[in-house]
Chains A and B, each alone.
Chain A
Amino acid sequence: MAFLELEHIEKDFGAAPVVSDLSLDVEEGEFVSFLGGSGCGKTTTLRMIAGFEVPARGVIRIDGQDVVNVAARHRNIGMVFQNYALFPNMTAFQNIAFGLSIASMAKADIRIRVQEMLALVHMEEFAGRYPQQLSGGQQQRVALARALAIRPKMLLLDEPLSALDARIRTRLREEIRQIQRAVGITTVYVTHDQEEALSISDRVVVMDRGRIEQVGTPKEIYDTPASRHVASFIGTLNMIEATVRDAGSGVLDVGGVAIRTAAPIRAAGGTVIHAAVRPERISPSTGAAGDNRLSGSVTETLFLGSTVRLVVHAHGRRLSVDLFNDPDLPLPQIGSAITLSFAPEACIPIYASSAYRPE
């Protein structure tokens, strides 16, 4: 039995369905991210777990208990909001102590617990400060401490880092993950930033228009996206339009050239699908035996820091090729001819539509 079970959850706002037939199991201690663009239903789902929205249909079970009819304040779930939501009339200490005092804990015990929490988020010196006197990152740490102080069964985070600067975001997300591991609490994290989701989650749930597109480990999502939406949402991806030539042997036709995939293709001959290839898996050389080969010309070279991206036009398609920035290697000239190669394993067939169904 999983710790958090969502079964066929549905939610409508007026006539429009916001979440449709959503089912998911989250194990205890797991860190799961809901990833998607705005309007995909991820925040609504989170709020249903928290108890601020009631699902129109479906069951939510936490630790075996059906909670759909349990009020938010009895669910013992900690939540961290996008805009911190610290109480402005209380110091950091008092904010963290709030849940504990509601639970009528003894003052001495509260003090110990709050100090513990402050140490956990490295905010000991700021105990007496008011939220207005803290930076965004500091406020969010206090918010996290406040949520964890009451020893909740689960931790929910609603885009906690989107209001912060990029540099703080990177550091803070790692801290959040460390704290989560240290405490071992089941966590659901909502974000629209795919780098964030991929870097800290045990599993990622990609959502689009109220439905789950794919659930998997970050590597699975990245390497084997199940649908076009997932593929284009995660990282940069070359989507090569191709016609199925021989489904059984996994052969596609790209502008007259034969391309092989590693697995059989689940579409009939003659269908137009997309072959997805990550830019870093394409090599500007003839490659090994058995590799797919395309020839084209370089139209742009983009310097991205540690990577150099070549934009190549080949067989009527536009491809991005990522290379490590090697100062010794000369870059191809714009307009020069170039041969590209990539392994069949790097070639993922993406069909017109697909939706996730858990087994």
Chain B
Amino acid sequence: MKNPINGRAAKPLSPFAYLGVLPFLLFALAFMLLPSGALLFGAFQDAHGRLTFANIVALFDPSILNSYAISIQVSAATAVGGVVAGFLLAHAITMGRLPKAVRSFVVTFSGVASNFAGVPLAFAFISTFGRVGMVTFILKQLFGISLYDSGFNLYSFWGLTITYIYFQIPLMVLIISPTLDGMKREWREAAENLGAGAFRYWLRVGFPILLPSLLSSLVLLFGNAFGAYATAYALTGGLINLVPILIGAQIRGNVLYNPNLGYALALGMVVVMAVALAAYVAMQRLTAGWLK
């Protein structure tokens, strides 16, 4: 590989260079890689340490497959919702000709809201849409509408979805705003010059350029929701069988104690996340040159 500045071949990396990053590498190894590796290996072992595929097979138990299905559905739903709504909001504050203060406020709020996830968020939604929540209460008292009798239930798939969206949308806003900043105003103007209105511009130029970023955001949001434990736990108390909840139950030994199955569940989750991350990285590479 040639040094772009003076054309000479770059120096090969000396072993000395690794010295400075050694602490980090050791730490990452000890507290991230090895534990995860141990977990993943455990998926292929039985209670006595012997090699087996029984745990993997056990993953295909209908109730477990159902968990994966629900997790994937919730994650997909909130990822799509987050991407669409987040994009519209991000577009409004970056390209919508609004005062700078609005953007600043939305970005700050997004920083807060995307960190607000977990127990407090669950509490907030219970206080709002729960059986005795404020909105439920007000709808009953003022409008005579009984939310729960109409079939709504916060502690369900849809309840989980609208709760998750609360941190998915801000995350999307934070991710996609810099990308939208990179969209040159002149593209829109050039397209207008050539006769294209807003619809045609977005159809032929805008969205094609943004597509890799949108897809990679979709994948990131999916991963974010898929791995979420705290919010789900605090909201549903373990009622809904999402994969993280299942894993949590295994860790605490609340169910038929089979840690190896838990490891297999974790393996399944890591596989899903790894695929998502690989897709994300691949799509980021695609956009590399376009939005400079």
Q: Among A52, A103, A143, A146, point to the contact of B189 (Cβ < 8 A).
A: A52
A143 and B184 CA atoms in complex are apart in Å by: 15
- Please tell me if the beta carbons of B194 and A150 are within 8 angstroms of each other in the complex: yes
Residues of chain B with a CB closer than 8 A to A71's CB: 192
Residues of chain B with a CB closer than 8 A to A52's CB: 189, 192
- Please tell me if the beta carbons of B209 and A73 are within 8 angstroms of each other in the complex: no
- Please tell me if the beta carbons of B190 and A85 are within 8 angstroms of each other in the complex: yes
Closest to A96 in B: B194
Contact digits for B165-206, partner A, Cβ 8 Å, 1 yes 0 no: 000000000000000000010110111111111001000110
A99 and B190 CA atoms in complex are apart in Å by: 9
Question: How many B residues, CB 8 Å from partner?
Answer: 20
- Please tell me if the beta carbons of B289 and A85 are within 8 angstroms of each other in the complex: no
A205 and B291 CA atoms in complex are apart in Å by: 35
User: Which residues of chain A from 55 to 98 have any CB-CB distance to chain B below 8 Å in the complex?
Assistant: 71-74, 76-79, 81, 83, 85-90, 98
The answer, yes or no, to whether A232 is at the interface (CB within 8 Å) is no
The answer, yes or no, to whether A50 is at the interface (CB within 8 Å) is yes
A77 and B192 CA atoms in complex are apart in Å by: 10
A343 and B204 CA atoms in complex are apart in Å by: 63
Closest to B195 in A: A102
- Please tell me if the beta carbons of B204 and A98 are within 8 angstroms of each other in the complex: yes
- Please tell me if the beta carbons of A98 and B194 are within 8 angstroms of each other in the complex: yes
Q: When A73-B197, A85-B184 are in contact, do A79 and B190 touch as well, CB less than 8 Å?
A: yes
Contact digits for A87-121, partner B, Cβ 8 Å, 1 yes 0 no: 11110000000110011000000000000000000
Closest to A76 in B: B195
A97 and B46 CA atoms in complex are apart in Å by: 64
Q: When A83-B184, A85-B189 are in contact, do A102 and B289 touch as well, CB less than 8 Å?
A: no
Q: How far is the CB of B59 from chain A (nearest CB, A)?
A: 41
- Please tell me if the beta carbons of A102 and B196 are within 8 angstroms of each other in the complex: yes
- Please tell me if the beta carbons of A83 and B209 are within 8 angstroms of each other in the complex: no
A51 and B190 CA atoms in complex are apart in Å by: 12
Closest to A143 in B: B190
A83 and B190 CA atoms in complex are apart in Å by: 11
B interface: dominant SS: helix
- Please tell me if the beta carbons of B289 and A73 are within 8 angstroms of each other in the complex: no
Residues of chain A with a CB closer than 8 A to B194's CB: 73, 98-99, 102, 146-147, 150
The answer, yes or no, to whether B290 is at the interface (CB within 8 Å) is yes
- Please tell me if the beta carbons of B193 and A77 are within 8 angstroms of each other in the complex: yes
User: Which residues of chain B from 45 to 69 have any CB-CB distance to chain A below 8 Å in the complex?
Assistant: none
The answer, yes or no, to whether A132 is at the interface (CB within 8 Å) is yes
A71 and B192 CA atoms in complex are apart in Å by: 9
- Please tell me if the beta carbons of A89 and B209 are within 8 angstroms of each other in the complex: yes
Residues of chain B with a CB closer than 8 A to A51's CB: 192
- Please tell me if the beta carbons of A50 and B290 are within 8 angstroms of each other in the complex: no
Q: Among A79, A87, A132, point to the contact of B193 (Cβ < 8 A).
A: A79
Q: When A99-B195, A132-B289, A146-B194 are in contact, do A89 and B189 touch as well, CB less than 8 Å?
A: no
The answer, yes or no, to whether B208 is at the interface (CB within 8 Å) is yes
- Please tell me if the beta carbons of A85 and B186 are within 8 angstroms of each other in the complex: yes
Residues of chain B with a CB closer than 8 A to A85's CB: 184, 186-187, 189-190
- Please tell me if the beta carbons of B205 and A89 are within 8 angstroms of each other in the complex: yes
Closest to A87 in B: B205
Q: When A87-B205, A89-B209, A132-B289 are in contact, do A103 and B190 touch as well, CB less than 8 Å?
A: no
Name 20 interchain pairs, CB-CB below 8 A, sorted by A: A52-B189, A71-B192, A72-B189, A72-B193, A73-B193, A78-B193, A79-B189, A81-B186, A81-B189, A85-B184, A85-B187, A85-B189, A87-B204, A89-B290, A90-B205, A98-B196, A99-B195, A102-B195, A132-B290, A147-B194
Not counting A76-B195, A132-B290, a sample of 20 additional A-B residue pairs whose C-beta atoms are within 8 angstroms of each other reads A50-B193, A52-B192, A72-B189, A72-B193, A74-B195, A79-B190, A81-B186, A81-B190, A83-B184, A85-B186, A85-B189, A87-B204, A87-B209, A88-B209, A88-B290, A89-B205, A99-B194, A99-B195, A102-B196, A150-B194
